[in-house]
Amino acid sequence: MSGLLTVEGGTPLQGEITVRGAKNFVSKAMVASLLGEEASELRNVPQIRDVEVVANLLGLHGVLVEHDPQAGVISLDPRNVEAAHVADIDAYAGSSRIPILFCGPLLHRLGEAFIPDLGGCRIGDRPIDYHLNILRQFGAVVDKRVQGIHLSAPGGLRGTKIHLPYPSVGATEQTLLTAVRASGLTELSNAAIEPEIMDLIAVLQKMGAIISVDTDRTIRIEGVDRLDGFRHSALADRIEAGSWASAALATRGDVFVKGATQPEMMTFLNTFRKVGGAFDVREDGIRFWHPGGDLRSIVLETDVHPGFMTDWQQPLVVALTQANGLSIVHETVYENRFGFTDALRGMGATIQIYRECLGGLECRFGQRNFNHSAVISGPTPLRAADIEVPDLRGGFSHLIAALAAEGTSRVRGIDIINRGYENFMDKLEALGAKVSLAEAEGQVALV
Ligand code: EPZ
């Protein structure tokens, strides 16, 4: 895909699309297959770049991967796992943070691991200090090298007691994927309990792990000597479902998201209703629509689960530019997640960002010079513009803004959106969007 999209705005999105497995679960379950003595099968797998990256990385380590993208089924046979060549890993890993989660499984299987410098969206510094400290606590020797990090576990890995400074999703997954085969008990306090993590725990339990989650978000894992394969169908991608819901609101449309599930989206649904959106939960998905009239401004703080997810924030901000009055958004998970608002201001939005905490939640970024609060004044008509996509969720927000704007926008760098939104061009077409993909300078193919 050339990465340049022409978008003729002003048409409400209307129709049905399907959302499949959660991007932020599927890649972790694929890594978990490395821990099994038998083959595994994962279903409801979306056809997105992150899945390809992890499949290639597993293949480099000797895992036999068979992927049927149409059927959404991936089978993983880890019985011949071997160390990969550093240069090859780097070639594939560049755009993802998932490689850091290979550490525990590779240390158990091979006694060592090499992890290249990580990629992922630029929405903050995104350090991996929690990950490396956790691996050291399990007994790994961490050696930082020019191209990345080499780890070894000469004495094997032993269960330990870990307290997370912040309920990090990745650090929780790091602990789970390492503790299940470590000797003895591991106790993880201040853990993240996102639905994607609970689905990963379900997968590990199917493999033979012993894991409990207490009411105070302490997770306890009893290490076992052997894990089998798993067969599992991934939970739906609540981030993608929320993104299309916000798109329906911003374009005054009506979208049925087949596959969306209510339990994982309760907080989003409450917020969607407060803004003035309407939704109908059905057996096979959720219908989201703009019921007419004005949208209402709100005060919003992102948080770890069950709070309002940080990945829902960017698409919703576009809808808030169309709401009456002043909305306030306090981003407490990432320190730099309002960069995408530059392009929205260029399209006519009135958004001011602040380094103060504009909310009551405890936040690590107050007075540290991070612009992590935003005030949005609406409604403001959006004008078409030439836009460069900054990151995955910000990029989808730019797409929504272009669809809501009057006139024709040119959105560059849309390849990034392929990382987390399956077949989004087909979905835009199914919803009646007037978009065309530039094949080369001067040529367009109507999509
Ligand atoms: C996961 O990222 C998701 N990515 C993110 O989705 C999601 O926004 C995030 O969790 C929070 O829900 C994947 O699952 C692939 P964290 P992760 O560790 O695990 C700090 C998307 O668009 N931190 O929970 O990297 C970190 O800087 C992506 O799909 C450390 O300080 O997020 C951040 O401020 C974006 N040191 C906070 O914790 C560490 O070692 C939360 O990060 C690790 C994290």
Residues 188 and 335 in one domain: no
Once rounded to an integer, what is the mean pLDDT over residues 374-402? Answer: 95
Judge contact between 184 and 168, C-beta under 8 A: no
Question: Binning pLDDT at 50, 70 and 90, where does residue 1 land?
Answer: very low
Q: Torsion angle of alpha carbons 22, 46, 243, 370, nearest 10°? A: 60
Residues 220 and 356 in one domain: no
Which residue has its alpha carbon closest to ligand 1 atom 42?
Answer: 168
Instruction: Determine if ligand 1 sits within 6 Å of the CB of residue 312.
Output: no
Q: What is d(CA 33, CA 214) in angstroms, rounded to the nearest whole number?
A: 25
pLDDT at position 273 is 98
Question: Binding site for UDP-N-acetyl-alpha-D-glucosamine: residue ranges?
Answer: 97, 311, 333
pLDDT at position 125 is 73
pLDDT at position 204 is 98
Closest atom of ligand 1 relative to the 131 alpha carbon: 40
Of 217, 233, 249, the residue that ends a domain is: 233
Letter string b/e over residues 360-393, b meaning 16 or more CB atoms within 10 A of that residue's CB: eeebebeeeebbbbbebbbbbebebbebebbbbb
Residues 277 and 290 in one domain: yes
pLDDT at position 94 is 64
Residues 64 and 85 in one domain: yes
Once rounded to an integer, what is the mean pLDDT over residues 258-263? Answer: 98
Residues 297 and 155 in one domain: no
Residues 257 and 220 in one domain: no
Active-site residue, 363 included: no
Residues 387 and 365 in one domain: yes
Once rounded to an integer, what is the mean pLDDT over residues 237-248? Answer: 98
Give the pLDDT confidence of 333-364 residue by residue, as tens digits.
999 999 999 999 999 999 999 999 999 998 99
User: Lowest mean pLDDT: which of 133-147, 368-382, 433-447?
Assistant: 433-447
Of 233, 256, 287, the residue that ends a domain is: 233
pLDDT at position 148 is 85
Percent of the chain whose pLDDT exceeds 70: 96
- Domain holding 155, by residue range, is 23-233
Q: How many CA atoms lie within 13 A of 122 on its CB side?
A: 6
Residues 304 and 402 in one domain: yes
Q: What is d(CA 48, CA 265) in angstroms, rounded to the nearest whole number?
A: 22
Residues 341 and 428 in one domain: yes
Q: How many CA atoms lie within 13 A of 66 on its CB side?
A: 6
Q: Are β-strands 434-440 and 4-8 bridged in parallel, bridged antiparallel, or unpaired?
A: antiparallel
Residues 11 and 129 in one domain: no
Domain count, the chain: 2
Once rounded to an integer, what is the mean pLDDT over residues 425-439? Answer: 92
Percent of the chain whose pLDDT exceeds 90: 84
Which residue has its alpha carbon closest to ligand 1 atom 14?
Answer: 24
